[in-house]
Structure 1
């Protein structure tokens, strides 16, 4: 039973448009049959009908397939399914699927769709709960809709639902991310009026919010308030404040706060995230000497740098043109065993490409390969893409084959295959193009639509008609 047949019954007072893509199917025929049968009798209250079919086994791929299909045919229906799915037991939307929903449903471009949804729940007298609203609030947060999130929060009592601390936190975080810290502060004050109290998430959101707009004193002032309410500052709260202080370049105060965290000990003791955040902030400001001081202090305290620390430091000193210092650092951390050679050199290659030192990046990349290192997928993708952008398709293909021998291609950007194949075809490298095309078929790597015409035309001329047929069948 296809999804197309379901959209005829799951309508949201919007006429479905004819889709140009192939029909996606439910995981089982029986589920489709059940939906059809039930929706014929109750076409309006989608949630009630879906609930009658529970339990439905959900996962991210399943939800993604359905919302993709319905975003093309019936946006509001897809949105209602998405909200319903996020409220089901044994399944929770992750950040990826929230961002995907924002994109498919064009939430940022049309925020009114959120308020229309809430109004529809009210008109149809849908049975919704606090968790339903939290899914909506998380969607608002993912879409950057702070004002709409606040309106949704204020609508909850109309459904006889009392907002809890989690609901308030979602809106407060959205407001802080928008930069509206005064309204967020006011909302935090309102919590006490309904016997709710801010928790660590509330305070950390406010600390970050004040720091983001440069109101550091107000961020500092929250710490004694937290303690009075029995919410004692921990490493997360201190690190949020420290990050703000570092970003505004108040070096002396940053080291004072770091010392204070050490003195407090316990749950306030700085961790690798704390130190890495400081290093990253100082490097971004060109304060590599201060960043080095943090790195040394970190090691003295017995906190080993991780891959993110190494990447932040490598990026910072690369930006300042101190390449020799980069190699010295890599040797230092690799010897101590906290970060691998491959991770360090991958970060270096990515950074060199970003600062347009492509020749140096390629030398570094090839040196890493010849030394038996395994660059990560980002470094591999960026390096091959950069070579292709210079129209050096044979070089790109040879590097592709070298990387393939190391086993690093499993997570490489699949766009690279189409870009490289199109370039080989255009430049008349028939043998290499056919080899790459066959490799794509073996790996089930689909052609990207923008490159199909160029690739098909040339491959046919190379005598690969059967190859073309198979490749086209996997076009995305």
Structure 2
């Protein structure tokens, strides 16, 4: 800002706060645009006798990245930079392109989408053609936040100003329509862009997005037909395309058709992937076809794919629901043998046993696993207790803790913190405070998050 002001009368180097106060004086003047404050901003700057630089010079924006980093102050500085940009463009000057682009990015990250869009428009008004990356970033962020109509209007306006839509931008629109809007509208957009010759050529990613949208809406038959028609559009379906259809078929229990599709996946681009096997195993397990799921798991490993926790968790989850402890131990044993670290999905599956009143069975599974692997069971204990407490099942969590302590397990601060948090979730604040006091008396303090939970 200092670089713009040569002499000031009657104020000397007005602060941003002074300028914002002055702007407010004009906010109630009738017939002003929605951004009325920037009119006041312009008047204040105009009244300070600024020496105007040549029209073709590049003007720098006020630096919004310096100063305190709390959200409120950062928002104020972002708004100052935005109003400064408006002033510069209205006076016919060109802003620094790198700064204007960064301002657009930062406004998007702060969810100020209207101002970010206006920055793009002002950049064009100043005679600068924005780079494709910033344009696509803005469209993508609008679509992610559900502002599909606004994004489509922006694309049309940008095209009118010589910024043609590319395939990446088009894919953002299609994905946004599939996720937040209307799938039929997405298909209409595809047809429109093709007829107008806009957006470059849709690529396979575009069609895979549409396939996902059809399957998400339960329109499996249409998705299959769309999938079969891809070669006529000049594209051969890849493994992603196949996985989209496969997931939909498996969810509906259409196993014969799923097997036929897998049999078709024999070319290099369509060879089954880890995702393919995980889809099959997860769907089979959820439908209770555990033996078949184990067969696919064996086939997967013969194909040299490394299983992950996501591979085993659906099987473990179903076995826990059926209370088949021996098979759960076998599956966990195999999981650890293949160096698959358990995750929240694994702990959630075992927690189901405790929720169903089978705490002793869950305890025996964890103990058996620890004995077989000759390894610590602390992670499993902590994970299961945390899972129970997050879902408000604190009583079975305490039952499991009792079994653990009887077997020699010493709870750590993380475990106690989970229990205290669980009590708070269930509204049992007195009990949570009592545990906290007992722990303090014994010089054993849970981590800080427990105190925050009780306070809230």
Q: 1:214 to 1:424 in 2, by over 3 A?
A: closer
Structure 2 length-normalised TM: 0.64
Q: Select 2:330's aligned residue among 328, 331, 349.
A: 328
Rounded to whole Å, the distance in 2 between the matches of 1:413 and 1:386 is: 16
**In the alignment, what sits opposite 1:257?**
261
**In the alignment, what sits opposite 1:188?**
190
**In the alignment, what sits opposite 1:214?**
218
Q: Find the structure with the greater CA-based Rg.
A: 2
Q: 1:238 to 1:324 in 2, by over 3 A?
A: same
The answer to whether the Cα contact below 8 Å between 1:286 and 1:320 also exists between their aligned partners in 2 is no
Deviation string 1:215-260 (CA, Å, 9 cap, x unpaired) is 3343334445544555432212211121122222211100110111
Q: 1:195 to 1:140 in 2, by over 3 A?
A: closer
Deviation string 1:357-397 (CA, Å, 9 cap, x unpaired) is 36244554566678414527754532565798339879869
The answer to whether the Cα contact below 8 Å between 1:177 and 1:209 also exists between their aligned partners in 2 is yes
**In the alignment, what sits opposite 2:92?**
none
**In the alignment, what sits opposite 1:267?**
269
Q: Select 1:452's aligned residue among 447, 452, 455.
A: 455
| Structure 1 residue 142, shift from structure 2 partner | 3.1
Q: Select 1:173's aligned residue among 172, 175, 186.
A: 175
* Partner secondary structure for residue 266 of structure 1: coil
Segments of 5+ residues of structure 2 without an aligned counterpart are 1-13, 25-47, 51-57, 84-97
The answer to whether the Cα contact below 8 Å between 2:215 and 2:245 also exists between their aligned partners in 1 is yes
Q: Select 1:201's aligned residue among 176, 193, 205.
A: 205
| Structure 1 residue 269, shift from structure 2 partner | 1.0
| Structure 1 residue 276, shift from structure 2 partner | 0.4
**In the alignment, what sits opposite 2:153?**
151
CA RMSD of aligned residues (A): 5.1
The answer to whether the Cα contact below 8 Å between 2:385 and 2:397 also exists between their aligned partners in 1 is no
The answer to whether the Cα contact below 8 Å between 1:284 and 1:316 also exists between their aligned partners in 2 is yes
Q: Select 1:349's aligned residue among 344, 347, 364.
A: 347
**In the alignment, what sits opposite 2:318?**
316
Rounded to whole Å, the distance in 2 between the matches of 1:313 and 1:9 is: 65
* Partner secondary structure for residue 305 of structure 1: coil
**In the alignment, what sits opposite 1:294?**
296
**In the alignment, what sits opposite 1:37?**
none
The answer to whether the Cα contact below 8 Å between 2:392 and 2:422 also exists between their aligned partners in 1 is no
1:282 is the counterpart of 2:284: yes
The answer to whether the Cα contact below 8 Å between 2:328 and 2:365 also exists between their aligned partners in 1 is no
The answer to whether the Cα contact below 8 Å between 1:179 and 1:209 also exists between their aligned partners in 2 is no
| Structure 1 residue 302, shift from structure 2 partner | 3.7
State the number of aligned residues: 379
| Structure 1 residue 437, shift from structure 2 partner | 7.2
Rounded to whole Å, the distance in 2 between the matches of 1:12 and 1:256 is: 70
Rounded to whole Å, the distance in 1 between the matches of 2:327 and 2:82 is: 52
Segments of 5+ residues of structure 1 without an aligned counterpart are 16-39, 42-46, 106-112, 454-476
